[in-house]
Amino acid sequence: MLDKQEQPVEQEFLSDLKRSIEIQDEENRRLPSKTFKPSGMKCMRSMYYQVIGAEPDKENSSYIGVGICNAGSDIHERIQTAISQMKDSGMQCEYIDVGEYVRDRNLTEIQIVSNQGMETKLYHERLNMSFLCDGIVRYKGKYYIVELKTETVNKFWSRKEVAQEHYNQATAYSLALGIDDVIFIYICRDNLDMKSFMFHVTDEMRAKLVAFINECQEYIDMETEPPIPKEASAKFCQYCSYKSICKGV
Ligand code: SF4
């Protein structure tokens, strides 16, 4: 007979495993760097908080959240490897080393910060923007930025175009790397099926994004929070780490 408080050993083992994943995640958490991030260019107010180094909300780690995040990174790496092997399979596709591309094109505003697996961390000095690029390919003689996104099965099956929340991210990459076309590959988390969409970035879109970043920088210089955007809602703010300080929703 087990004591009331006691769990069978396999249950206890699993509880400890889950808790250990969460402890490790909490211990490895770092404040984001005080730079603009293409993936966070949806809300100027949250960009402001990040660049001034505001304390993000304390959220308890969840082993499921950690698992989803790690699975996404693993899938990314496998797809990147598969893209890099297309040439060996006889396709007209070359996976371009992002660091070499930056050096060859003499993109002097960009610093190569580090290589993380197949991703290259870059920093754009003028815009104070740091970013990881999933990859650049030369496919059938033309250069494209490749951006990979994993998503839930429901989102995947209804996907018919690039998600609006990814427009600024693609535009930021285009702005920094001087490539007009971004191939988005959306990957279903459940069965790893894939869909692709082309996103063409125009001069007007790049100019609009620069103006958006510059406006945010003006608020930073004035030490004044940008106003709460009219789009603010439970859905819009769902993944924001600055809800407590913002009080927008
Ligand atoms: S809570 Fe919403 S409005 Fe406030 S900073 Fe976050 S995303 Fe922006």
DSSP for 67-83, written as a single string: HHHHHHHHHHHHHHHHH
Angle CA 25–238–120, to nearest 5: 55
C-alpha 169 – ligand 1 centre gap (Å): 17
Select from 236, 244, 245, 247 the residue to mutate for testing ligand 1; criterion: most ligand atoms less than 8 Å from CB. 236
Percent of the chain with pLDDT over 90: 80
Hey, whose CA ends up nearest to atom 2 of ligand 1?
A: 237
Is the CB of residue 248 below 6 angstroms from any atom belonging to ligand 1?
Answer: yes
| pLDDT value for 119 | 79
Is the CB of residue 241 below 6 angstroms from any atom belonging to ligand 1?
Answer: no
What's the pLDDT tens digit per position in 4-17?
A: 568 899 999 999 99
> Which atom of ligand 1 lies closest to the CA of 243?
1
Residue closest to 32 by CA, chosen among 244, 247, 242: 242
Domain 38-246 indexed as CATH 1.20.120: no
| pLDDT value for 3 | 61
Label residue 1 by pLDDT band (50, 70, 90).
low
What's the pLDDT tens digit per position in 200-240?
A: 999 999 999 999 999 999 999 999 999 999 999 998 998 89
Task: Delimit the domains of the chain by residue range.
Answer: 38-246
Is the CB of residue 40 below 6 angstroms from any atom belonging to ligand 1?
Answer: no
Is 80 exceeded by the pLDDT of residue 20? yes
- Rounded Cα–Cα distance for residues 126 and 112 (Å): 14
- Whole-angstrom distance between the N-terminal and C-terminal Cα of the chain? 51
C-alpha 4 – ligand 1 centre gap (Å): 45
| pLDDT value for 127 | 94
C-alpha 239 – ligand 1 centre gap (Å): 9
What's the pLDDT tens digit per position in 92-149?
A: 999 998 989 999 999 999 999 988 778 789 999 999 999 988 899 999 999 999 999 9
Mean pLDDT in residue range 49-64: 92
